[in-house]
Structure formats: C-alpha cells, structure tokens
Chains A and B, each alone.
Chain A
C-alpha cells in the first residue's frame, strides 16, 4: 500500500471514529449547529494537511481535540463575543401534534442546557467540556489551559452547580 493510501485509510478511520464526538464537543462549545459543523470541518482539513507529521497515531484523538479548540479560540478572537442564543429548534420543520409534543419538550429542555452552558462563558464552559466530553483528567485540563489544578476544579464545580440547577428545573416542569 502506498503512503498516500495509508494516509487516506487512517484519515477515514479518524473520521469514522471521532467525528461524532468532535461535533458534540464543538456544538457544546459554540452552541450553534452550523458553526459546530464548520469547526469540525476545519479541524479535519487541518488534520489531513498535518497527518504526515503525526508521530503518535494512538494520540490522534487528543490531537484532533487540540486542533478543534485552537480553531474555536481563533474563531472567538476573530469574531468577538457572540450574542448568547438558544440553538435552533427547527420547529418550523416539525408538525406540532400530540405525538411530537413530548419530543419538543425534550428538545426544549436540551436547548435550555445549551443556554445554561453558554451563560457560563468560555472560562467555565471549556474546562467542564474538556473533562466531561473530551475525557481529559482535571490535571490534564489544567496543563492544557495553563492554569492551576485548583482553578480547574473550582470552574468545574461552578459549571456543575449551574447545570444541575438547569436539569433540576427541567425535571420539575
């Protein structure tokens, strides 16, 4: 097999193994579906270009996440702070009837979760997502973000409290 075919096969494996998780992470970071899809696409474009320089294939997952976080930081710097808004419900595409009302409630409660995440701001949201979605330990998160471990723990603690209130409110409604 030629080097180019190896590269293509490995790239395909990276897409099939990690694209879904990366999208979830991107969506929870930015709160917008189109932007999340763009971030993931930019991540994989960069991954394709840089694949020959990846020395440890077993660390491909964390490598992809670091590219995505870099792209997100770049996006935030370029466009400034976005106005916080709830992600699209696509209500216009769904017929509202008795059967779908439960599903709409479920979607609505998911978007309240996203709104709660967005209201946290990146300082608290990012370490929380890095631990809960990316699967890093708190110590690894502290190292990546360049902050003390205690700072990461207190930010995660605050994020948890906010999201717990959001989820508890959903259950009480």
Chain B
C-alpha cells in the first residue's frame, strides 16, 4: 500500500470523528503538511460524508410507531402490576380507593387541560436534554446560518428561522427528529460550553403559536443521562415556530434574551 493510500485510509477514518478530536487533528496536521491533493480530497470527503448522511437518513417514518412501542411498556407494566396486586394483601384496599383515584384523576386532567400543554413542554425538555447529551453531532459544519439554512431547507417541512441569540457562535447543524416530529438541530459555542438549539413546528407539540420563554431546570427533568450535566432547557414559540435551547444552567436564559440579535 502506498503512502497516499495509507493517508487516504486515515482520512476516511478521521472524517467520522468529531472536529477537535485529537486523532482527527493529527490527521488534519498531516494533511496540512502534505498539501495539494490531500487537502482537496479531505474537503471532498467531508462534503460527501454530509451528503451521504443526509440522504441515508431521509426515511419516511411510519405513522403511530411511537404509540405502538409505548404500548409495549404500558401492557407489560400493567400485567406486572396486576400480578403483584392480586398476590398482595393490600389488593382490597387498593380496589377500595380506585374509584376515588379515578375521580381525582379526572378532575386533575380537567385542570391540566385548562393550565395548558404542560405535558408537551416536559416531553420536549426531556427529548432536547437527552439529545444534547447523547447525540451532539452535526452533518453541516458552518459558522454561517444562511449556509446552514440552504443545506437543510429540503430536509424539514418548515421554514428555518434562527431566533435572536446572545454571545453564541454557530458550529453547525443537522435535520433531526424529537420523537417522530421533524426538527432542525443546531449546535452553538458559548465560551467553553456548548448549546443545542432545536426548531420545530409548535403545532407538532400542541403548543400555542406564541408563548413566552419558559425555563425548565434540568434538575426537574426526568432524564437520567443528563442528571449530572447541570443544564437547563428554555422553550418558547414565535409565530408558529417552536424553539428549545439547552445550555449551562447559568447561561440558558441569557442566551436568548429579547435584546439579542438574529444571526
């Protein structure tokens, strides 16, 4: 195998590592020393990776998939609970208060409906936080929001509009889904930290078209993978566009104050 072929293999391997990964940086330094063909091939490789990732990930999801899968847990949970109850001396006591519980639950449901889409906000917060921790990769690497919008435009069924932000630098983005709903995911640098911003359709999550910014402390979100990450989630909607920002608890609301400028 020639030296060129060896470098090509190393480039292919490194192209899947995150920018900033020491192994990738080592290869990039070799490319810089090699110059000429290596630099051109490297750029072409990265662009092609993004294109292939986009194309391969474009798959229409079946309707009702999540509901089918959630039903597995619900059925199994009910079966286990029933089995335990029937074998328990407390079964009769449980049966006796069941009617009261149903009545209270019905009243609570009425209250929650009047109070607003609390469950949907919590769902978005959990998904956004989990994704921020477990899947921060981007398929389009750019500092330019317009470049990002042009390259992701075809991947989502809504207009991509960056909200006003403070002191954040764009790293890149990708099309994504929260649950089964399409979102645009963008990654931002905030000093030494990182933020994740999601744009989605407010109607997909049954949210009003216009809401104020709501901060959901990460400590109150039931998200095991993000337990020690000290992040908060800010959720709001503007003209039918929904946004969720995940950032360090100190910075979350400051990143999207009303005085920020649109990038």
**A residues whose Cβ falls under 8 Å from a Cβ of B:** 4, 7-13, 15-17, 19-21, 23-24, 27-28, 33, 37, 40-41, 44-45, 48-49, 57-58, 60-61, 110, 113, 117, 129, 131-133, 135, 137-139, 149-150, 153, 156-157, 160, 163-164, 167
Contact = CB atoms under 8 A, between A and B. Distances in A.
7 contacts: A13-B224, A16-B178, A17-B131, A37-B68, A61-B134, A110-B55, A153-B9
Interface in B37-79: 48-49, 51-53, 55-59, 61-62, 65-66, 68-70, 72-74, 76-77
A15 B123 CA distance: 12
Interface in B65-112: 65-66, 68-70, 72-74, 76-77, 80-81
Interface residues of B, number: 46
Contact of B51 (A10, A129, A157, A167): A167
Given A60-B225, A137-B17, A16 B12 contact: no
B62 A15 contact: no
A138 B13 contact: yes
Nearest to A15: B69
Contacts of A110: 55, 58
B239 interface: no
Contacts of B135: 61, 135
Contacts of B58: 110
B225 A167 contact: no
B260 to A, nearest CB: 29
A20 B52 contact: no
Contact of B222 (A13, A23, A41, A137): A13
The listed residue with most A CB atoms (<10 A of its CB), out of B56, B135, B178, B224, is B56
Contacts of B73: 8, 11-12, 15, 44, 48
Contacts of A57: 224-225
Interface centre among A33, A117, A137 (most CB of B within 10 A): A137
Contacts of B52: 132, 160, 163-164, 167
A16 B179 contact: yes
Interface string B220-263: 00111100000000000000000000000000000000000000
Interface of B: 9, 12-13, 16-17, 48-49, 51-53, 55-59, 61-62, 65-66, 68-70, 72-74, 76-77, 80-81, 123, 126-127, 130-131, 133-135, 137, 177-180, 222-225
A24 B76 CA distance: 26
Main secondary structure on A side of the interface with B: helix
B131 A12 contact: no
B59 A45 contact: no
Nearest to A46: B72
Contacts of A17: 127, 130-131, 134
B interface majority secondary structure: helix
Contacts of A49: 76
Given A40-B65, A57-B224, A16 B123 contact: yes
Contact of A8 (B9, B77, B134): B77
Contact of A137 (B16, B53, B130): B16
Q: State the 4 A-B residue pairs at the shortest beta-carbon distance, nearest first.
A: A11-B73, A24-B59, A57-B224, A20-B177
Nearest to B225: A58
Contacts of B62: 23, 33, 37
A132 B12 contact: no
Contacts of A60: 225
Contacts of B225: 57-58, 60
A19 B13 contact: no
A37 B48 CA distance: 29
A19 B126 CA distance: 15
A104 to B, nearest CB: 13
